DNA sequence: GATGAATGAGTTTTCATTCAT
DNA sequence: GATGAATGAAAACTCATTCAT
């Protein structure tokens, strides 16, 4: 194993990472002392590094190097490598939540709502690779850190409520079967949307197909929507 | 000494790991020096450690400690930490292959064959957590090491052939729709079987449900078979 | 953040430390900026921290945190950690001096005067743990800093004069032996009064007795007075 | 505070430290791999550094530098800085114990026995400055580490038994008073022997007298024996 | 083949101190 | 006078790997 810390090389192929936008500076003059910006900057770089390298694989030095500040500030604000990792997790989960606010499924008819939910889930995972990778990493860590993330449980409850609502309305409209457990359905949707992103490297190696290629992506999207709708549809 | 190298603790809840069986000693005379046994022993322990901790998280010392031999031997046989990791990957993929030999889907009618394939895939992932974890880890590594595993590509080709055969026969029998891509279908099946195992920690934390609980497992198995069959079925 | 800077925990069992009294604000109008008060506040906190942790063990951050002001002020007023330590030493020695003024041994008959001196010395050490600890710390530092404390030498000269006076009068009165060196006697008295305070932790651990317990304190006090008087007494 | 790690400078004036004897090599050829010697070497150097600088003041690098090995070995054998400190404590207490074996007070008449005990205690403290310093340091640490030293409590019990025996025999012989508590007497003796060593720096600074000067040492030794005997002697 | 001791090069973390506002 | 943010230098500790026996 080469030691040179080239940092965060693996992955990141395709869509550019969603983390550090240098232009995110406060619109007012670039001030020298801007703790919020400093923190955000560190957090953005750390998101990249942790999602690319894992908790143990990430290097504090590598993060610091790509930051506008020094390693010291990283400890000043986040206390430790683990603390920083945790903060990254928190940020990432917070980000999703904001996005989900925009999804008003309850205003759509159940079938269209279900389609919208699946498409949203698909798109989100497809775009937020860092999120997918961090979840993967957390599963290797035994979900040790995510447990302490406040926004984590809340977010999941929301999704389940959405699904319950869709299912109930679908059943009432005679469109959906009545024996589907909402959490199981969530798992099913997640599986389909998550796996092709999280495992795209082994998939690509195995079949010579990159699941993130636009054509494939479109086909997968349609397939997954189709599969979910067939699964919930009431058969006559 | 703060950290105490307990190593490889995370995960492993539920089904006991499939790796190191101390009793696996060759029944014939236990010779003092048995290179094969030594290698196998190292490999078993390493499988556990790598699958529990990841490539970067695994500790050579931790592996050596739980081995019947010493660290030196590990280097003697496998050259480096990476070499050992690679060997683990190779072993794990070899193991699957053997199992798949037993699955004779071509002798079943297409619907039953599809069901059998899905059930096999489900059961395999459900049991072989180490495999699932190692694949996950490989995806974090950008599939860098699995690419060099000989049995890897071959195995996947086989699965696709099986699916192609099932689809063709199903279409011919008027049971399956004709617009399903075999690799996409494989991805779909894999997603459903893999995700609930690979992400069971975050899932468990999010919903307070352990997907490996027998009751849930049975339900998931039925659900996945159902979802796949509904997906491929020809509608009239 | 692992270590959490709780600072200055060890010791302080029993009698509450004599340092920082938050209520010590000047009774006259609490002005926003009161340099004297700020300095005193820093000094009090620093006395605690240094006496609890030693010079190297003390943390500037820990001191600043428990202060009403910020770290910057600490440097503003005292220049450096060492400067602050020195200032603490100075303050502590000054405090003693004030107290010793009240002891008018020369007005008592030699035996009673000696008793009074020993009792005073005992009581002082017994109460001023911070003083005892700081002296101990200075001895670990090779007395490097105390050398620069002005009140230090002066104070000792005074004590020796007092002892010389007592011895002379005692000898004249036929009560004391004539072969006692005043500095040696001072050392003897100090040893007895100092040790039980400075080493009370190891003593407590060794014998399960806390020398600062009231009953034990009283007995020690009597014992030490007794020992000293027997030592100086002229035998017939 | 200068940062350059010149290490272990303070103190050590006078008698050369009792720690690392390079000649302590196993008499048989100087072997390259000699764990016992390596450990002892580290321990000896560490004893010096810790006793000179305290736990927080000591520098792992400084210890390693003066060792025949590298810093890594220090962690290999002792796990951490604290672990090494603890080992030093253990060694130092063990050393005393061995010495005390040679003191057969019970064979002497009570007065002579008491004199021998005091003289032994005096000599021990006078010579083993590292011991005295380490005890002092432990008192600053709140005796946190010495508590875990096995030989610590045992040693103290032994001393008390010796004193009890002497007192009992002295009382029986009509030589000693009967109201002396053995632990108190031990404290008294310790105080007198310990203080002049432990606090010799401040003492030297205060009075311009170095208590370790041979002439002064002899006088102190006589004085302390005298003081103790006068204290225990039965008055007619 | 097998082993415990040894190690160089990192890696995380801490500390006293200073800067810009 | 006062403050929170910032920092370089050093300190503790860890890791994969190799050596002597």
pLDDT tens sequence across D25-59: 333 444 567 889 999 999 999 999 999 999 999 99
User: Could you tell me the pLDDT band of residue A120, with boundaries at 50, 70 and 90?
Assistant: very high
Residues of D (15-34) placing their beta carbon closer than 7 angstroms to any atom of strand F are: 31-33
Cβ distance of A139 and B199 shorter than 8 Å? yes
Average pLDDT for C10-37:
49
pLDDT reading at B2 higher than 80: no
CA distance readout (Å), C162 to A163, C181, C185, C225, D203: 90, 13, 11, 17, 17
Whether residue A49 is contained in a domain is answered as yes
pLDDT digits (tens, 9 = 90+) for D200-228: 999 999 999 899 999 999 999 999 999 99
Write down the pLDDT at residue C96: 75
Query: Looking at chain A, which subunits does it touch, using at least 3 CB pairs closer than 8 Å as the criterion?
Result: B, C
- Residue C113, phi-psi category: left (phi > 0), alpha (psi -120 to 50), beta (remainder): alpha
Long-range contacts of range A100-105, CB-CB < 8 Å, 24 or more positions apart? A100/A155, A100/A158, A100/A159, A103/A162, A105/A162, A105/A165, A105/A166
D168 and D67 in one domain?
A: no
C63 and C154 in one domain?
A: no
D104 and D39 in one domain?
A: no
A28 and A96 in one domain?
A: no
pLDDT reading at B42 higher than 90: yes
- Give how far the C-alpha of residue C19 lies from the chain's centroid of Cα atoms, to the nearest Å: 12
Rounded CA separation D90/D83 (Å)? 11
Decide: D and A in contact? Rule: 3+ Cβ pairs under 8 Å.
no
Domain boundary among A54, A79, A104: A79
Buried b (16+ CB within 10 A) or exposed e, B2-37: eeeeebbebbbeeeebbbbeeeeeeeeeeeeebeeb
Cβ distance of D223 and C53 shorter than 8 Å? no
- Checking each nucleotide's C1' against the CA of D3, the nearest proves to be F10
- Checking each nucleotide's C1' against the CA of B59, the nearest proves to be F15
**CB nearest A1 (choices: B82, B147, B194):** B82
Cβ distance of D199 and C196 shorter than 8 Å? no
Domain boundary among A79, A105, A124: A79
Residues of A (116-175) placing their beta carbon closer than 7 angstroms to any atom of strand E are: none
Rounded CA separation A92/A71 (Å)? 22
Min distance D152 CA to chain C CA atoms (Å): 7
Min distance C71 CA to chain A CA atoms (Å): 15
A129 and A28 in one domain?
A: no
Residues of D (16-45) placing their beta carbon closer than 7 angstroms to any atom of strand E are: 32-35, 38
A222 and A180 in one domain?
A: yes
Measured CA D142 to C1' E4 distance, in angstroms = 38
Identify the residue whose Cα has the smallest distance to the C1' of F3.
C70
CA distance readout (Å), C23 to C68, C195, D83: 12, 32, 42
Identify the residue whose Cα has the smallest distance to the C1' of E21.
A33
Write down the pLDDT at residue B221: 98
Whether residue D2 is contained in a domain is answered as no
Q: What is the CATH number of the domain that holds C50?
A: 1.10.10.60
C104 and C77 in one domain?
A: no
Average pLDDT for C2-19:
41
Whether residue D10 is contained in a domain is answered as no
Contacts B2 to D, Cβ<8 Å: 80
**Partners of D233 in the β-ladder:** D176
Write down the pLDDT at residue B6: 41
Whether residue D106 is contained in a domain is answered as yes
Whether residue C64 is contained in a domain is answered as yes
Write down the pLDDT at residue A31: 56
A68 and A147 in one domain?
A: no
Contacts B1 to D, Cβ<8 Å: 79-80, 83
Domain boundary among D82, D113, D129: D82
What is the 8-class DSSP label of residue D233? B
A101 and A66 in one domain?
A: no
C215 and C115 in one domain?
A: yes
- Give how far the C-alpha of residue D122 lies from the chain's centroid of Cα atoms, to the nearest Å: 11
Rounded CA separation B166/B117 (Å)? 10
CA dihedral C154, C157, C163, C167 (to 10 degrees): -150
Nearest one of B124, B103, B125 to B114, comparing CA atoms? B103
- Checking each nucleotide's C1' against the CA of C73, the nearest proves to be F2
Write down the pLDDT at residue A3: 36
Q: What is the CATH number of the domain that holds A148?
A: 1.10.357.10
D136 and D72 in one domain?
A: no
Number of domains, chain A: 2
Measured CA A23 to C1' E19 distance, in angstroms = 26
Tell me which residue range forms the domain holding D44: 22-82
Q: What is the DSSP string of B147-180?
A: GG-HHHHHHHHHHHHHHHHHHHHHHHTT-B-S--
Instruction: Say which residue, C198 or A103, is predicted with more confidence.
Output: C198
Write down the pLDDT at residue B182: 97
Q: Cβ of residue C72 near strand E, that is under 7 Å?
A: yes
CA distance readout (Å), A103 to A116, A219, C111: 8, 23, 94
User: Could you tell me the pLDDT band of residue D101, with boundaries at 50, 70 and 90?
Assistant: low
Q: What chain C residue is nearest to D129 in terms of C-alpha separation?
A: C140
Cβ distance of D139 and C231 shorter than 8 Å? no
Min distance D71 CA to chain B CA atoms (Å): 15
Whether residue D202 is contained in a domain is answered as yes
Contacts D80 to B, Cβ<8 Å: 1-2
Whether residue B207 is contained in a domain is answered as yes
Window from B67-81, B96-110, D150-164 with minimum mean pLDDT = B96-110
Instruction: Say which residue, B93 or A200, is predicted with more confidence.
Output: A200
Rounded CA separation B58/B51 (Å)? 8
Whether residue A101 is contained in a domain is answered as yes
Residues of D (57-116) placing their beta carbon closer than 7 angstroms to any atom of strand E are: 69-73, 76
User: Could you tell me the pLDDT band of residue D162, with boundaries at 50, 70 and 90?
Assistant: very high
Cβ distance of C80 and D1 shorter than 8 Å? yes
Measured CA D56 to C1' F4 distance, in angstroms = 28
Which percentage of chain A shows pLDDT scores above 70?
86
- Token reading at C191: 């040893």
Write down the pLDDT at residue C106: 86
Write down the pLDDT at residue A157: 86
Write down the pLDDT at residue A148: 87
Rounded CA separation A186/A103 (Å)? 16
Write down the pLDDT at residue D80: 96
Min distance A229 CA to chain B CA atoms (Å): 9
Cβ distance of C10 and D184 shorter than 8 Å? no
Contacts A80 to C, Cβ<8 Å: 1-2
Identify the residue whose Cα has the smallest distance to the C1' of E15.
C59
Write down the pLDDT at residue A182: 98
Write down the pLDDT at residue D12: 41
- Checking each nucleotide's C1' against the CA of C70, the nearest proves to be F3
Q: What chain A residue is nearest to C4 in terms of C-alpha separation?
A: A79
pLDDT reading at B224 higher than 90: yes
Residues of D (126-145) placing their beta carbon closer than 7 angstroms to any atom of strand F are: none
pLDDT reading at A171 higher than 70: yes
User: Could you tell me the pLDDT band of residue A32, with boundaries at 50, 70 and 90?
Assistant: low
pLDDT reading at C49 higher than 60: yes
Q: What chain D residue is nearest to B4 in terms of C-alpha separation?
A: D79
A107 and A75 in one domain?
A: no
**Residue B233, φ and ψ in degrees, nearest 5:** -60, 140
Roughly how many angstroms between the first and final C-alpha of chain D, as a whole number? 59
Contacts C3 to A, Cβ<8 Å: none
pLDDT reading at D3 higher than 80: no
Write down the pLDDT at residue D84: 97
Window from B173-177, C101-105, C186-190, D121-125 with minimum mean pLDDT = C101-105
Rounded CA separation A216/A204 (Å)? 12
Rounded CA separation C14/A12 (Å)? 61
pTM (two decimals): 0.86
Q: Cβ of residue A80 near strand E, that is under 7 Å?
A: yes
Measured CA B221 to C1' F18 distance, in angstroms = 50
Buried b (16+ CB within 10 A) or exposed e, A54-93: bbbbbbeebbbebbebeeebbbebbbebebbbbbbbbbbb
Residue of D206, D224, D228, D229 to mutate for C, most C C-beta atoms under 10 A = D206
- Token reading at D235: 């008055």
Instruction: Say which residue, A105 or C119, is predicted with more confidence.
Output: C119
Min distance A227 CA to chain B CA atoms (Å): 5
Window from A38-47, A116-125, B71-80, B146-155 with minimum mean pLDDT = B146-155
Write down the pLDDT at residue D11: 45
The protein footprint on chain F, as nucleotides within 7 A of a CB, is 1-21
User: Could you tell me the pLDDT band of residue A17, with boundaries at 50, 70 and 90?
Assistant: very low
What is the 8-class DSSP label of residue C104? -
User: Could you tell me the pLDDT band of residue B101, with boundaries at 50, 70 and 90?
Assistant: low
């Amino acid at each position: 194993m080469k030691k040179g810390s080239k940092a965060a090389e693996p992955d990141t192929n395709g869509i550019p990472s969603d983390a550090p936008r240098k232009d995110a500076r406060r619109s007012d003059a670039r001030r020298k002392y801007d703790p919020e910006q400093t923190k955000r900057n560190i957090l953005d770089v750390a998101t990249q590094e942790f999602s690319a390298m894992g908790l143990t694989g990430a290097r504090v030095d590598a993060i610091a190097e790509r930051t506008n500040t020094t390693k010291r500030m990283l400890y000043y604000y986040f206390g430790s490598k683990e603390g920083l990792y945790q903060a990254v997790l928190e940020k990432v989960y917070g980000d999703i939540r904001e996005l989900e606010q925009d999804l008003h499924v309850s205003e759509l008819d159940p079938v269209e709502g279900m389609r919208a939910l699946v498409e949203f889930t698909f798109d989100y995972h497809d775009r937020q690779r860092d999120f997918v990778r961090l979840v993967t990493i957390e599963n290797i860590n035994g979900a040790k850190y995510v447990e302490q993330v406040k926004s984590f449980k809340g977010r999941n409850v929301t999704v389940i409520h959405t699904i319950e609502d869709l299912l109930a309305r679908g059943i009432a409209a005679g469109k959906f079967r009545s024996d589907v457990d909402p959490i199981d359905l969530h798992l099913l949707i997640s599986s389909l949307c998550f796996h092709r992103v999280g495992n795209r490297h082994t998939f690509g190696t195995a079949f010579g197909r990159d699941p993130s290629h636009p054509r494939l992506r479109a086909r997968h999207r349609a397939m997954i929507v189709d599969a979910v709708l067939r699964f919930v549809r009431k058969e006559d």
